[in-house]
Structure 1
């Protein structure tokens, strides 16, 4: 039974978390569920667009056995992350959820939808192919399970919380690195999670730290092209990772495009290892 949500209750959050645990226990790897955003949706009064789709099984007392979430980085492209309980697969639940998700994407004004499928998921890729959704790009999900090995910190490199006065230079840095800056860049300044990297007093990079329970997340990590190859990125990544562990985190995670060999080499040199490769299918709307 389908349940569109414009607001996630505490019970909904627990049901999605339980479903995620069952799926990961069966399939391994991980699922790219943005828990910070899901928890934020639990504080919203619910008067707005559909943000999540849940599927319950009346034969199991209404237990949630399917889920799709909608997350957008730039307000135009939406990422769809879905899962189906291993014990409920083969019943068309994934297809029904995707059937319901496409009109939600159109109603919310998104011009592009990317369906994220873990590479080992044969069923997920079959579903994407039936929809005529080719792979647009792929990313490696990496994890660090212990503080990185010691390394010298360059005293000329400093990190500080970003302010509103940094927005223009941060947008320029992120656009150079990723092709565009996030529309929520200003909102991301709250809480001091977005950091500015300076070297000899000049802004040369940025990184966003985000804590999610016992795990730390590294996002939007960019070093200006003219400052790359000088050890600045490795120094910053070590510092940020060590801070997470010092604050009690048990792991740190990040994502990198599979064709970005330079960044992948940097991350693995600090100790990050591959958890999952995820394919982003361009879903026709």
Structure 2
């Protein structure tokens, strides 16, 4: 579990790095702020008591994503490589490891050239620009707060839509429940049935959409589009100034859906498969 001081130091370092490199790092703040007690996921480098390097591990089912940074004034000293070596014992417990680097990060890509990895995939961070009107729903779609009895369906959706294994999906949903994320979930109702889920995480006036999924047998009926439109409207009605989501570039169907609903690309993250 990270302390308030540690979180503030990570945030300050992130701001320095992003402004210097003109990039946007993906540090998964919803997870950083809710680390489990005793969980070894975060690694620090210090100079004169100041955090000058950070590496975080983020587990999603069978994979661990790795993202980190080093202060511009302390680069070319092997700091990030040392942090990465410290994390290896944890990484070895995962089925596969993805190294996350902003697509336009020169220093990040230079480091990747020195490790054993291959390009895996890219994703866009997309922002709802707010210029498109949100149409009233003409489909019998409803978003309702998630209940404990929805847990089995959320696990099923992670298995069929996000390629989780059963035990990994259960562990991930247990982690989300333990971290207090249960209140962020909405279930998608259609035809008198629960057909999907969507999670909305709020940070100040910024809303972030995660885990948006519809059961395969209910896809292609417009339910996902209406659910997404309702989610955006919910956030705008509550005074949120920005709504974000991630999408893989290879997921052309989802990318087309999000674009047609008024989302625009803001940045790109690249992922590289690392071999222990």
TM-score (norm 1): 0.86
Distance 1:222 1:229 in 2: 12
* 8 Å CA contact retained: 1:148, 1:238: no
Distance 1:242 1:87 in 2: 43
- What is the match of residue 69 of structure 1? 56
SS of the aligned residue for 2:34 comes to: helix
- Greater displacement, 259-268 / 172-181: 172-181
Name which of 93, 96, 105 aligns with 2:91.
105
Distance 1:90 1:111 in 2: 31
- What is the match of residue 4 of structure 1? none
Alpha-carbon shift at residue 147 of structure 1 (Å): 7.2
Name which of 197, 213, 218 aligns with 2:209.
218
- Greater displacement, 115-124 / 23-32: 23-32
- What is the match of residue 158 of structure 2? 174
1:142-175 deviations in Å (ceiling 9; x for gaps): 1224375221213511111222322333322232
Distance 1:77 1:95 in 2: 20
1:12-44 deviations in Å (ceiling 9; x for gaps): 111100011112212334211121222223xx6
Name which of 253, 258, 264 aligns with 1:267.
258
Name which of 6, 26, 45 aligns with 1:55.
45
1:195 has 2:182 as partner: no
- 277 and 187 in structure 1: CA distance in 2 versus 1, 3 angstrom threshold: same
CA-atom RMSD in angstroms:
2.1
Between the two proteins, the alignment pairs up a number of residues equal to 269
1:132 has 2:116 as partner: yes
Distance 1:277 1:241 in 2: 22
- 271 and 113 in structure 1: CA distance in 2 versus 1, 3 angstrom threshold: same
Name which of 167, 172, 196 aligns with 1:184.
172
Alpha-carbon shift at residue 102 of structure 1 (Å): 1.7
SS of the aligned residue for 2:232 comes to: helix
- 200 and 176 in structure 1: CA distance in 2 versus 1, 3 angstrom threshold: same
* Gaps in structure 1 of 5+ consecutive residues: 1-6
* 8 Å CA contact retained: 2:53, 2:70: yes
Alpha-carbon shift at residue 247 of structure 1 (Å): 2.3
* Off by >6 Å, runs of 4+ in structure 1: none
TM-score (norm 2): 0.88
* Gaps in structure 2 of 5+ consecutive residues: none
- What is the match of residue 107 of structure 2? 123
SS of the aligned residue for 1:130 comes to: coil
- 207 and 182 in structure 1: CA distance in 2 versus 1, 3 angstrom threshold: farther
1:92 has 2:78 as partner: yes
